[in-house]
Amino acid sequence: MFDFRFDKRIVYAVVAIMLFKTLYQYMTVEGALLGLVLTIPGVLIAITFHEFAHAFVADKLGDDTPSREGRLTLNPLAHLDPIGSLLLLFAGFGWGKPVHVNPRKYTRKMSMEKADALVSLAGPIMNFLLAIIFVIATCITVNTTGSKLFFIENELALVASDPTIEIVLKILISGAVVNVGLGVFNLIPLPPLDGSKIIMPFLPYNAKQFFIRNEQIFYIVFVVIWLTGIAGYIISPIIKLLSAGIMKLGFMAFGINFMLF
């Protein structure tokens, strides 16, 4: 769930510059643009299922707000945020259109705070589950096509049996990485990301009150570390290591021999 509470025009202008610069780099590096296109299916699935998971859990807790707003669906058009989707495509982390919930409508016997944390946690959990599914699909494809996989400093390279299989494998691998990226990014414990609500039930009372009173400041802190690239600098290695770890576990589970360099 991602919802800016200040002038979006400034953020969008900065993001547009960042995206233009990144797109130029993709266009000038051979094969990079094709790789970007093959990432699109993973981005659509990652954002759609992430936001659907928020809506689904909120609905199960008794809040009909997501359903009334048309968010209890797997139609990507209901969940995509233009800027967040482009960033997820280009940078590996981003966001979807926020799912609005009304905690006062929760009917389950738990505090609104804990219920809100469950709704927030549903998105990242969904992404990690999808990453595992993409890895399983990758392993099945490798086993049935005789393709080869190599890890070079936690970067995955492949040798496919034919060009079509290579495209399929690249789509599956990028789908796993994008889902890990969206899941990790949203676990950052700063508003407006899911992590800020997930940690709330576990904070001491004084820390919780400080967090609530200074929420707007935390928004600004997040935007600063995001626009300056600090967020990417911090989480990109985590995304890379976690993606490689899930891949390697999947390969071992399916008995796939992969080489490390």
CA 149 – CA 166 distance, rounded (Å): 11
Question: Could you tell me the pTM of the whole model?
Answer: 0.87
- Are the beta carbons of 180 and 239 closer than 8 angstroms? yes
Q: Which of 48, 21, 77 is nearest to 178 (CA)?
A: 48
69, 70, 246 from 97: Cα distances, Å = 12, 12, 28
Q: Can you give the pLDDT at residue 231?
A: 80
pLDDT profile of the chain (261 residues), mean per 10 = 51 66 68 80 94 96 94 94 77 78 86 91 97 97 88 78 91 95 92 90 89 84 78 88 92 83 55
- Are the beta carbons of 143 and 136 closer than 8 angstroms? no
SS3 149: strand
For the sheet containing 148-152, what is the strand order?
Answer: 155-159, 148-152, 259-260
Q: Which of 51, 69, 113, 153 is catalytic?
A: 51
The residues that bridge with 149 in the sheet, in sequence order, are: 158
Q: Can you give the pLDDT at residue 3?
A: 46
Q: Can you give the pLDDT at residue 1?
A: 46
CA 192 – CA 210 distance, rounded (Å): 16
Q: Can you give the pLDDT at residue 4?
A: 45
**What angle (nearest 5°) sits at the alpha carbon of residue 221, between those of residues 220 and 226?**
95
Q: Does the annotation count 51 as an active-site position?
A: yes
CA atoms within 13 A on the CB side of 187: 17
Taking the domains of the chain in order of start, what are their residue ranges? Answer: 8-93+101-260
- List, in order, residues 6 or more apart from 236 with CB less than 8 Å away: 92
SS3 148: strand
Q: Provide the token pair at 244.
A: 């490689």
Length of the chain: 261
Q: Can you give the pLDDT at residue 2?
A: 42
Indicate the residue type of 68.
R
